């Protein structure tokens, strides 16, 4: 298996309005790839299509050499695809632990939920301290940790993160991206969508620049960091 995830000429539309135009990308198992670009470029739309929350107009989504383009979202979750959405989208009145356990909702994951919970608590000690606290009472950084932990409860083959640093203080952003490095170090394949190109390029191996619903540039993250267009448009150089 050459690629864990492969998008082939993917086209996505909201009704008659097309927003993603024939994009292709591929992610190797155990690697971190990022999708950077301005707000409205189509990054969130792409992640939602991969998880199955949006239908595609054309092209294919291949996961572990299987065509999952027409599969329902719950079947993709059973294939251990996990999306940590923009804005975290926790159940605010439920406890931290209840939110985490919902990440192991598929029947195939419930038997190992206790072990997965302990693994998440080992990675996020603050969540263990607050496990009986309502998720809505957590700080922004703690809520993001809870959302990431919920994704890890699914024992994902691919973990997708949509704007994990959105609305967080710079110190907390440092902490969140350090956690992403730690998760990647455990062999989890990650696709990260972010406007914060500095952090995304620093943590990833390969990068795609998305502009106006198309892939404008792609290449090793280290090389794109030195690209004049990327430096001027996204790195503040």
CB 51 within 8 A of CB 44: no
Instruction: Give CA–CA dist 80/83, Å, rounded.
Output: 10
Give the pLDDT confidence of 143-198 residue by residue, as tens digits.
Answer: 999 999 999 999 999 999 999 988 888 888 998 899 899 999 988 999 999 988 99
> Band of the pLDDT at 108, cuts 50, 70, 90?
confident
pLDDT over 80 at 79, yes or no: yes
Instruction: Give CA–CA dist 35/58, Å, rounded.
Output: 20
Q: Report pLDDT for 147.
A: 94
Instruction: Give CA–CA dist 117/207, Å, rounded.
Output: 31
Average pLDDT (68-91) is: 91
Instruction: Give CA–CA dist 220/208, Å, rounded.
Output: 9
Give the pLDDT confidence of 117-136 residue by residue, as tens digits.
Answer: 999 999 999 999 999 999 99
| Helix (H) or strand (E) run with residue 126 in it | helix 125-129
Give one DSSP letter per residue of 75-110, joined into a string.
Answer: HHHHTTEEEE-TT----TTSBHHHHHHHTT-SHHHH
Angle, nearest 10°, between helix axes 140-152 and 113-123? Answer: 140
This prediction has a pTM of 0.91
Average pLDDT (52-71) is: 96
Give the pLDDT confidence of 201-236 residue by residue, as tens digits.
Answer: 999 999 999 999 999 999 999 999 999 989 998 886
pLDDT over 80 at 106, yes or no: no
Instruction: Give CA–CA dist 104/132, Å, rounded.
Output: 18
pLDDT over 90 at 50, yes or no: yes
Q: Report pLDDT for 38.
A: 92
Q: What is the mean pLDDT of the chain?
A: 92
Instruction: Give CA–CA dist 202/234, Å, rounded.
Output: 13
pLDDT over 80 at 237, yes or no: no
Bridge-based pairing state of the strands 58-63 and 5-14? antiparallel
């Amino acid at each position: 298996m050459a690629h864990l995830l492969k998008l082939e000429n993917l086209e996505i539309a909201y009704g008659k309005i097309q927003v993603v135009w024939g994009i292709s990308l591929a992610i190797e198992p155990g690697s971190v790839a990022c999708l950077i670009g301005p707000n409205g470029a189509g990054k969130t739309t792409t992640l939602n299509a991969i998880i199955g929350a949006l239908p595609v107009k054309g092209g294919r989504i291949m996961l572990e050499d299987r065509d999952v383009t027409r599969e329902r979202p719950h079947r993709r979750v059973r294939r251990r695809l996990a999306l940590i959405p923009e804005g975290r989208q926790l159940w605010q009145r439920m406890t931290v632990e209840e939110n985490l356990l919902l990440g192991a909702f598929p029947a195939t994951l419930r038997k190992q939920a206790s072990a997965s919970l302990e693994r998440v608590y080992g990675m996020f000690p603050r969540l263990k301290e607050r496990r009986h606290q309502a998720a809505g009472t957590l700080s922004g950084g703690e809520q993001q940790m809870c959302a990431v932990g919920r994704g890890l409860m699914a024992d994902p083959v691919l973990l997708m993160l949509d704007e994990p640093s959105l609305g967080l203080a710079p110190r907390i952003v440092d902490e969140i991206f350090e956690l992403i490095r730690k998760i990647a170090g455990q062999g989890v394949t990650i696709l990260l969508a972010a406007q914060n190109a500095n952090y995304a390029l620093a943590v990833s191996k390969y990068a795609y620049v998305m502009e106006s619903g198309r892939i404008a540039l792609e290449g090793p993250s280290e090389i794109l960091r030195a690209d004049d267009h990327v430096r001027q448009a996204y790195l503040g150089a």
